[in-house]
Structure 1
């Protein structure tokens, strides 16, 4: 079993072969039974059986236990890619942090670390930190960087899918920088890029609240406001990478200046920065979003009220989004989602107040469902890992050979 063998089956050319389709599906989904593989790949059960026998002999696919799938009778054997076949790296380049996750191809997380930074840190600093964090992540493990199959990078702002340049709206000092030129020389492996909300959507449909859903919306509430649109199981990126940028929908053209350069964006009203400043003034010390959430959960009424106000503002924006898309599912992400009902209740009430279609207008099966993100602090970075595991060039448009 070696890196080249697995990489050859993850290429677009290999999709025409049964082994390639099986390996691609296991890479995307994790552990599956032979019956599930047949259903998801569209291959005959006999074809799947023959291909799996070959993949087992090559030590590329291994058994991981049994999965009854809720059925009566003998449990089906669950299969996965051999964890020793290689690793993937996910990197989050956020507004105030950098996070690095290393996972193997069976979807097991081997390392997950983050570093907090001051806002508007320079790209050069990020390069140095990412290089150091990756070296530390592999130190002392039996896995080595030599088995690296790909690197996914989640950016705290939109990225042009044609040329890999960072667009305005998220990371001011990164605007116009080519992410491929910055990070490409670090790795002898394919690189995939997308904004953090789109990556969060990939994480939710792979491991989280949107499993089994092919159509849904993600709304991220944090120091910024982001979003993602998933249709037919694919993240909609738009011609220039700006799809799903809900935070920069202009609500009032005469409103306050937004960091994107426009005025009166949804993010101006629904981001948590002003609420965080209120909390810092009250407690007389620097705070993070996590600190406010933790104090609120511990019973601090002021912090709870700040989160509720942010939820009400977010619900107003979601009402606009709901009137445009009328989605079946909305996943609420960002660190504010860790507050649970303290955020979700006022957000849901506000959404109901400002959306076109009210709950009483339609039967239960036609109502939009709001779910809290499955992930607390690593959804976007896990989604960056997912960019590699999905390994679909036509979806990322930013693959570097």
Structure 2
């Protein structure tokens, strides 16, 4: 059973490093339009709000949609977001630290604003459209240029008192290690993200390569790319082992761009998880084992999840009404 698509539309926005991505969807979860807006580094919140307003107006006009049908706007941010919409940390878009998303976008867009961390939005996308459909309890673990995560229990996100739950990348696994962008030392993100391996491979091949390039190289059998992905998977699995020992989840979904490497990443990651977590697969029946799989929407999850913020609110409102 789905909601009637004529009941209204909603907008999802993801605030990226040098771009703003935006989609329009109806309440039946169908995506109607998508836009990418290039932005300068360290773009300002008010500028983003105005650009979003123009892009929304353009999308609605081009698709013959009534603006009166816009029910709300969901916004995905690369950093923890408090329950009242304040960005607590924002290393990807540092000018947003301390900004109240609702206060910035609400007066400009004149619609209800819903905001959350991008990993939480990614989890919502997998819950509503992807690999976690029908699964009320799972962990999302994102491996990209950073490391992020989210925890879902009983179908609801675990956000913590200040919005900082699920920040797996900032578990300190080496207190005497290198300084992390968050200000702590030896964070998992320093070793399990693909930022450093990307720099190393670029030096070796003497050209700038992207994560997509490395994945393609690995699939073609390049031993250097394979080694970098396997090393990343080993450390990520070790970090996941800690999470597994704390939460013992039935399902772990691997997201982020490195998830596109598929089994090249997943096989060594699962093996590492098994070595480092408390409950081993051999200890329990198959039905009680933690499954580790790749997400369905790894390239678009934060944006879809921003739409999901609005849709989940609308569904809740209808059920209460």
TM-score for the superposition, normalised by structure 2? 0.90
Residue 74 of structure 2, aligned match among 141, 152, 155:
152
CA distance in 2, matches of 1:313, 1:126: 36
Aligned length: 316
Q: Closer, same or farther in 2 for the Cα pair 1:129/1:309, shift >3 Å?
A: farther
* Of 240-249 and 124-133, the range deviating more from structure 2: 124-133
Which entry has the higher C-alpha Rg, 1 or 2? 1
The answer to whether the Cα contact below 8 Å between 1:95 and 1:170 also exists between their aligned partners in 2 is no
CA distance in 1, matches of 2:44, 2:229: 30
Counterpart of 2:97 in structure 1 is 175
What do residues 170-210 of structure 1 show as CA deviations (whole Å, max 9, x unaligned)?
44332111212221222122110110111111111111111
**Which residues in structure 2 correspond to 1:52-63 (within 5 Å)?**
none
CA distance in 2, matches of 1:206, 1:330: 16
The answer as to 2:296 corresponding to 1:383 is: no
What do residues 265-324 of structure 1 show as CA deviations (whole Å, max 9, x unaligned)?
111111111112123324444443233323333443322322222211111110110011
CA distance in 2, matches of 1:124, 1:277: 34
Counterpart of 2:287 in structure 1 is 365
What's the C-alpha RMSD, in Å, of the aligned pairs?
2.3
Residue 229 of structure 2, aligned match among 307, 310, 316:
307
Q: Closer, same or farther in 2 for the Cα pair 1:154/1:262, shift >3 Å?
A: same
Residue segments in structure 1 that go unaligned for 5+ positions in a row: 1-31, 33-79, 396-401
The answer to whether the Cα contact below 8 Å between 1:169 and 1:260 also exists between their aligned partners in 2 is no
**Which residues in structure 2 correspond to 1:2-401 (within 5 Å)?**
32=1, 80-95=2-17, 97-115=19-37, 121-124=43-46, 126-162=48-84, 164-168=85-89, 170-171=91-92, 172-391=94-313
TM-score for the superposition, normalised by structure 1? 0.73
CA distance in 1, matches of 2:211, 2:35: 18
Q: Closer, same or farther in 2 for the Cα pair 1:173/1:148, shift >3 Å?
A: same
CA distance in 2, matches of 1:394, 1:247: 31
- 3-state SS of the aligned residue for 1:229? strand
The answer to whether the Cα contact below 8 Å between 1:320 and 1:354 also exists between their aligned partners in 2 is yes
CA distance in 2, matches of 1:285, 1:116: 25
The answer to whether the Cα contact below 8 Å between 1:159 and 1:242 also exists between their aligned partners in 2 is yes
What is the deviation of 1:120?
Answer: 5.1
What is the deviation of 1:363?
Answer: 1.5
What do residues 74-102 of structure 1 show as CA deviations (whole Å, max 9, x unaligned)?
xxxxxx43323321111111345432111
